[in-house]
Amino acid sequence: MIARELVTLPSYAEEVAQGLTTQPKSLPCKLFYDATGSALFEEITRLPEYYLTRTELEILRERADEMASRLGTDVTVVELGAGTAVKTCTLLESLSRRQIRVRYYPVDISRAALHQAKERVESRCRQILVRPVVADFSDGFEFLRSIPDKKLVAYLGSSIGNFDPAAAVAMLAEINRQMTPRDMLLLGTDLVKAKSMLSAAYDDSEGVTEQFNKNILVRLNRELFADFDLESFRHVALWNPRRSRMEIYLESLRTQTVDLPLLQLRVHFAKGERMHTENSYKYTVATAKCMLERSGYVLTHTWFDQHKWFALHLANVQASA
Ligand code: AVI
């Protein structure tokens, strides 16, 4: 017996209840990222099948000088969702060869990750001034206004791909509203490619992505006292060419009932029923350009890796009419 009145419900409780009582069932992908989920995602980025992270890093390494020359001087780098700042170092180093002082504002929800980011960048490049910003993007992007210099706002890692197109445009437009006409955006998008390669990236042979996906259930068991049986669900990753996205599900392997006492819910799953947990949109240059234009930017340049698996787009803020 759980005394409900003594337990504070997590902020996501309402969303979970909604997702489990609507057909088809779903769970919000933001639930992936507790401490275990973040560590599992780090592991995913090192998997041979998950080409995204290393390919983006390759572009940044090979094109950093070219990027720096396009950015001009006196630019401050603000990286949204910076994590431990593994990717940005090379670009910061190239910038610091061109200007006396480079300022770097890594922005993340995780204080621990930001601490590591500061240590990493400062140890590699002494002339870079690191100013970590702890922020939750669901509270908006007003903190960008308090950074006075000409800014490069970097949003890397294909994180934009986890938003549906309308939400992606809304978010990029919100960022845009906090930018000045001399600021720029550097956006990383994964590109449309062969189904076999995409499927492998989201259903790796070691089962790390499966563990990452099921970690949502582990979290609901721990935080909502739910009784999901992990063995009774399987990880499913499907390419949807019509919507240009990978779709991630947890599929029920049997007819079963799950209790979520804190939500006063008993949820029935049919055998083979799929619960949606994440989308990962894949872009072409044309669809990325369109998304940027609809959000108030002008695409000025796109860099690719040698196979054209991933793209980094540089965009200016559209001049207002
Ligand atoms: C964080 N995001 C960009 C990852 C992606 O590729 O969409 C999340 C992920 N989901 C499964 N594998 C990786």
What phi, psi does 225 have (nearest 5°)? 55, 35
Centroid of ligand 1 to alpha carbon of 294 (angstroms): 24
- 242: helix, strand or coil: coil
Helix and strand element counts for the chain (H, E): 9, 13
Centroid of ligand 1 to alpha carbon of 259 (angstroms): 28
Residue that the structure tokens 């780090």 belong to:
42
Q: Alpha-carbon distance 50 to 312, whole Å?
A: 17
Centroid of ligand 1 to alpha carbon of 248 (angstroms): 10
Q: Which of 12, 31, 6 is nearest to 219 (CA)?
A: 31
Please work out whether the CB of residue 161 comes within 6 Å of at least one atom of ligand 1. yes
Q: Alpha-carbon distance 261 to 121, whole Å?
A: 46
pTM for the structure as a whole: 0.95
Q: Ligand 1, from 206, 280, 281: best to mutate by most atoms within 8 Å of Cβ?
A: 280
Q: Ligand 1, from 27, 38, 41, 191: best to mutate by most atoms within 8 Å of Cβ?
A: 41
Report residues of the chain scoring pLDDT below 70: 1-6, 321
Which residues touch 103 (CB under 8 Å, ≥6 apart)? 76, 77, 128, 129, 131, 149
Predicted pLDDT at 4:
56
Predicted pLDDT at 8:
86
Please work out whether the CB of residue 278 comes within 6 Å of at least one atom of ligand 1. yes
Q: How far is CA 185 from the centre of its chain?
A: 16
Q: Which residues pair with 246 in a beta bridge?
A: 239, 280
Predicted pLDDT at 321:
55
Please work out whether the CB of residue 279 comes within 6 Å of at least one atom of ligand 1. no
Which residue owns the Cα nearest ligand 1 atom 5? 280
Centroid of ligand 1 to alpha carbon of 280 (angstroms): 7
The beta strand positions in the chain, using DSSP E, are: 75-80, 102-108, 128-130, 133-134, 150-155, 184-190, 233-240, 245-252, 256-260, 265-269, 274-281, 297-304, 310-317
Give, to the nearest 10 degrees, the angle between helix 51-71 and helix 89-96: 20
What phi, psi does 151 have (nearest 5°)? -115, 145
Supply the Cα-derived Rg of the chain in whole angstroms.
21
What phi, psi does 268 have (nearest 5°)? -100, 135
> What is the DSSP-derived secondary structure letter of residue 140?
-
Which residue owns the Cα nearest ligand 1 atom 4? 159
